[in-house]
Every structure is written in structure tokens, then in C-alpha cells.
Structure 1
Amino acid sequence: MNSTTDWAGIVDARDAATRLLQTVPLCEKPLQLAIGECSLVIRSNSQSLLDRLGDYFHHLPRKTGLATIEVTAIESEKLETGLPFIDWQREAGKSGRKDAYLDLTDGRLVFKVRTGMLFLQSEQWRIAAGPCTAYDNQLVNFINSQVMNWLQQREWLICHAAALVLKGHGIAMAGFSGGGKSTLMLHLMEHPKSRYVTNDRLFLRRQGVRVEAVGIPKLPRINPGTLVNSPRLSPLLDQQRREQLLSLPKQELWDLEEKYDVDVERLYGRDRIDTSTPVPLDAMVILNWSREESAPLKLTKIDIAQRSELLNAVMKSPGPFFQDSLGEFIRDDEALQPAPYLALLKSVPIYEVTGKIDFAELSGLCLKLWD
């Protein structure tokens, strides 16, 4: 299977599926999940992988019956295809090779450069193959990409934002990469009347006079800079690693990329997570503060239509897995269109955060928005 000749002459999704499935037997019982109105069936040749996914998605209802979406995960060695993949252009501010793709007549192969994971996206086939267990986060992302496609095909608009329900109100947190939206969201989760909605991908649509928001079932994934100062999150680090991290200079700790999943229900309690039920969006906070800034923190209401540079922090490309309702794929050079975002956000109170970074103070200001 590692021979490059196995992939010679591949043209369509059926050809790719045949090679990825490798005629391996699948486990008898799949993992079935309900995500709002969307149903998922996940099949694999590895029971331990299905068990791991079941543990990750333990907060979701188990669903039986007809599947809306079916995903197959094949645990195998890295597949050496020899195919002429094209690098997917990364967003501004991001460097290094990450995703590469090859378009077929009726589908797309996506290759993860750093891990060797290979994915097939088409209307009929949704397959992940390679060292899935070692890189299960990429498999979780692929599964969530199917939910994202399902939402966008039903006119939900993708945003780069975290969100939660706070004191009965939906609030979103946006900001440029590394700005602290996940950290702010977890600070606000300390309020007992809060529920987690999403960490990095938020979807919006108009429903009557209101704007609704919904997330995807991906747990918060955070860096050590957030962990070391939170007693709530302390179980995610052993004492030795905590001491190592606390010995680092603050700047180095902030920039360190070492991801940890935050299991919301296990760390914050049951009924504190709702990633698949739409909630009214009552406010959006855009983080435009700075570690180099010494000026007092300010939370200022703004007109987003007059601040295109901040709208750029909210807009998000659907990415290489996105396939619209006609089966067409997005290109990496397609410009994001501000108009749909402005149309939705014009009725949502938007606040800009400036000045020095202070999560405790900003959390207090957010809690006062509806006093």
C-alpha cells in the first residue's frame, strides 16, 4: 500500500476511496452521534480509535437510525501516494506548510504535510487514513468539518470566534490569532450560569429579528499560558510540567504551542456545554488589546461597518474540506466577502477591547453588560 504505483491514474472519488479503504474489515458497531439536527455515523477498523472518539464526544447524545453523514477512519501507516499535491495557501500571519490538496473529478484529497494523514472529501465518501490514533485531533477536526459543511450548506455563516452563554445571553469573542479569545472564554466559564458553545468556529444566521449562533462539538484546545494560572485546569498538567512552564519567561510561555484539550463537562460540571443548540447572539467582543500596551483596558461599543480591520478578525475561510450544496469546493485564493458578515452583525452589539491585557478585569466588564 505504500507503493506510489498504487495511486497512478487516480481520477475520481471512487478510485481514491478504494485505495484508502484498503479492503480492511471495519468494526461491527460504529459510533453514532447526534449534533442538533445533524446525525453522524463514524466507522473504523480500530475499536480503540472508536472508543477514543466516543470518549472525546461523550457529551453528545448517541443516535441510532439513518445517518445524515458517514465518516470512515482507517488506522494505518502513513500512505506514500506520490501524488502531485498543491500547498493550500495559509492565512495571513501563519507560516510553514500545513495542508496540501489534489482535486478529483468529484472530490478532493487533502494531505496533512506535518503528520502524513490523508483525507478524502466528496459527496459520497468522507474518509480519513493514516496514523489516526497518533493524530486523533486531526481526525476530530475532519469530523467537525463535516458538521461545518452541513451548517454552511444550510446558510449558516462561519466566524472565527469563541462563544458561550453567559447569564442567559449569547456572547462571542473574536480576535486575531493568539489574542486570547479562548482564555477569555474559559475565564467567563467560571461564572456558574454559563455554558460553553464553541472555541474557535462559530456559525451565525438570521432568525426573524434576532441573530442565532451555534458551535461545533470541538472542545477548547489551549496552550500552557492559559493552563498554569488556572486552578480549575490544573488536572491537565502534572506538577513537574507545571513547574517547568512557570520557570519560563512570560513572553516565551505565552508563545509556546503545546495544545491541551479541556473537557468542559468533567472540569466545569454537567450541563455546562451546548455545542449544537442555536442560541441568540446578544453581543460580540473583539480583542484588540496588546501585551506591549500599558494603557488601561477599555471596552468600547463600535460600529463594525466602520472598522474593516476588526471585521477581518471575525471573517473565516471555510478551509480545504468545504464543499457547498452543489458539490463545489472552495479555492484557497477566494477572497472573503464582508457583506454577509455586516448584514448579520449590524443588529448585534459589538465591543472593541483595547489597552493592556487583563482577563480578570475584562471578565468583570463582560459580566456587567446585562446588569
Structure 2
Amino acid sequence: MQRVLQPEPIRAALAAKGWDQKQLAQTIGVSAQAVTNWMKGEDFPRPATLLKLATALSLSFDELVHLPQRDEPIIAFRKKTGTKTTDEHVLRAKAMGALLKPLVPFLPPRKALRTQIPSASTEYELLQNAAASVRAKLGIGAESVLTYERLIAEFDANDAVLIPVMWGKKDRHENALHILLPGDQVTFIYLNLDTHLEDFKFWMAHELAHVYTPDLAGKDAGEDFADAFAGSLLFPRELARHAYAEASRAPTAAAEMQALQQFAHQHMISLFTVYTQVSRHATAAGLRPLRVADKSIHAVRNSGRGALVSQALFEPMPPDPSTYIAAAHNVFQSAFFPALRRMLHERGTGVGYVQQLLDASIADAQALHTELIR
């Protein structure tokens, strides 16, 4: 995938501002020669510089960058509650997708068979049928605990490369970033480990839904389906039926919540996921609603948040590069770092690539680069 800037929109934006290329270079902090090389298609800006360029000229990624349509990265965000996807987020993510392209030849050979959900629907019965079909494929019963190991193995089986990162608990827009390279039929999923254990399994199931429905990736319908499917896969109607029966026998709303909490603890998922799935079962079956209110669920959930995934894996924090790379390979079965290691050795790729690819600090990127080229 040859990444080049589209000169005509840039020239038009410069003319509208009354700038020349030298003024543009000064504005975004690069040399005039760098801008000249971009305009000739001889070089391409890094993601951070591309973002500055887009902001300075008020241009979108599609206006700035020329890519064959088949190679246009498809982006999906698993976002923090209440956040909005902006042009800046999309631009940065697509630029990271373009950076991932050179890594593809260093990945293991692609699989011939993959799981797909052809008619993705959030209608209750169809959703439950889809979840039941996936559980059967994974070889687990309708009431069994879906473990992390089973989920992780499914990503590898469907050519989805997990990239565990530590992007911070509060500072990042996305909890996970899904980048599909359609021309290569490879998906990269950045998973933010700085998130609570009780939520992490849901986010992984959400990303797996995107893998199963590539045609919906990056669309609102895809986000809606992924959320609905994740809950149904982790806590299907058979479990929701049992949880409802237990909760309905509880004498008070507080006791009802305790019953739901026991199921959440057993299945290593959030109380909110259990509550949502039980409520949907009650609606579908025409049963009376739960007595406990969703605001009470949120209050209990927010008052007792557990450890972060990164803390559980790496305490004390931060991990050294060898430990972090080993966890990506052994815990998440990720082909990312072995592929990156081969690329660095064969092409002599520098620290800047690692920094941009992982959106890491220069110090962290340098430490990882040193470890990978040993």
C-alpha cells in the first residue's frame, strides 16, 4: 500500500489561507524540504505530523491521503462512556493503520477458514441464536464460564492480531481500537490494559463481534451489534433465566442485587452485564422487570471497581520490556511482537516506527526497540 499525500487538496487549502509551502512547514514544525518531498510523493509524514497537517489545513484523512479503496483502513473504536469520535481520532487511527501495513508480510500465514455472522441482528432471538452458535463452535455449554483463554484463541483463529497497550485509565479516548486492513484481510486490535478486570472480558467479546462481522466494522450498526452480542455471548439466555429465577425469589431489591452479583463474580464479568442480560430476558419472556434500578447497579459497580488488567499482569508497574513482550505472546497469543522483531532485524527499522506504531513515549519505544533487536 503506497501512502502518498494528495497534492491538489493541499494546494487548494494553502491558497485559501494565502500560504506557501514554506509557511506550512513553519506552522507544523518541519523543514520546507519535507513538505516538498510529501508533495512529490517521495515521503510520507508520521501520524503525529499528519495530524498537525490536517489540523493546520482543516482537511480530513480522505482529503489528505491517497489510498486504493481496497487498502483504506477500516476503523472501529471501543470508546469510554460518553466520548465522541472526532476527526482527530479517525485521522490518527487511519494513520496507524497505514503504518501497520508493512508489518503484514512478517505475520504468520493467514487462515483459510474463519467464523462469520452473516446476518447480524440485535433482535433478541436472533442474537441468542448467534451467541449459541459461537459457544458451540468454541466447545462450551450454554451455562459454562467463557474463559479468557477461549476468547483469545478465537482472535488468532480468525487472523486478528491483538496488541496489548497501556494507554492510561483516563487519558485515552478508546478502550480498544480495531483496525481492519481489507486488502490484506488482517485485523489488528489494540487492547488497553489500563482498564478494570471486570470490564475487560466484555470489551474483548465486543471486539470479537467486530471480527465476526467485518462488513459492519466502523459503522454505528456494527457498534450496536458488538455490544449486544458481547453480552449475549458472555451471559446467554440460559444463564439469564437462572439469574432471574434466583433474583425474583429475593425478598428485597438489595437481596436481588446480591443474587446478580454472585453470577457476575462466578462468570468474571461486570454486574452491569448480568443485570442487562437478565433484564433483556425478562422483557423477551414477558416477565415483570427486576426491582433493582439501573442507577443502583451503576452505584454499586462504581463503588467497588477492582484492579486494572495491567496491575494484575505486571505488578509492580511498569513492566520491563521483556516482561511486556512475553505477556503479549504468552497471555494474548499475539503474533505482533514476533512479527515486529523480524521486521526490525530484516529492514533495520528505527525507534520512530515503534513509537508511532504503539503511540508510546520515545523512552518506552527506545526500550522496546533495544529489546526487540537483541
TM-score class, shorter:
under 0.3
Q: TM (normalized to structure 2)? A: 0.24
Q: TM (normalized to structure 1)? A: 0.24
Which protein, 1 or 2, shows the higher relative CO under an 8 Å CA cutoff with sep ≥ 6? Answer: 2
Decide which structure has the larger Cα Rg and report it.
2
